[in-house]
């Protein structure tokens, strides 16, 4: 365990944008206030390959997770397109003054 942990704060970094346009890193969802984290990688999609197998591939959609739970971030969206269009605000991690 580190001798001393430096407290951090999340501050808005830029203007609201869609999840698809958000840069990698932490964000806050405008509608729900939920905190998430977008990776620099694309969304992983799976398809049934038959015989109990699933083929996975990376798409160009956003790959984002909930900070609180680690689950895939959906922000209340019901479809992939709605999720990509969710409004979020990028956050910057800074040391507390």
Higher pLDDT, 71 or 46: 71
What per-residue confidence (pLDDT) applies to 87? 97
**pLDDT exceeds cutoff 60 at 6:** yes
pTM above 0.85, yes or no: no
Phi first, then psi, for residue 82 (nearest 5°) are -65, -40
What per-residue confidence (pLDDT) applies to 38? 95
What is the 3-class SS of 24-42, one letter each residue? CEEEEECCCCCEEEEEEEE
Cα(85)–Cα(16) distance, integer angstroms = 11
Average pLDDT (71-79) is 93
């Amino acid at each position: 365990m580190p001798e001393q942990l430096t407290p951090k704060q999340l501050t808005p970094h830029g203007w609201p944008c869609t999840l698809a346009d958000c840069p990698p890193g932490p964000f806050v969802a405008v509608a729900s206030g939920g905190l998430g984290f977008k990776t620099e990688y694309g969304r992983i999609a799976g398809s049934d390959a038959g015989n109990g197998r699933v083929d996975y591939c990376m798409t160009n959609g956003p790959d984002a997770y909930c900070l609180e739970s680690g689950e895939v971030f959906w922000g209340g969206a019901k479809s992939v397109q709605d999720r990509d269009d969710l409004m979020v605000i990028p956050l910057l991690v800074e040391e507390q003054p």
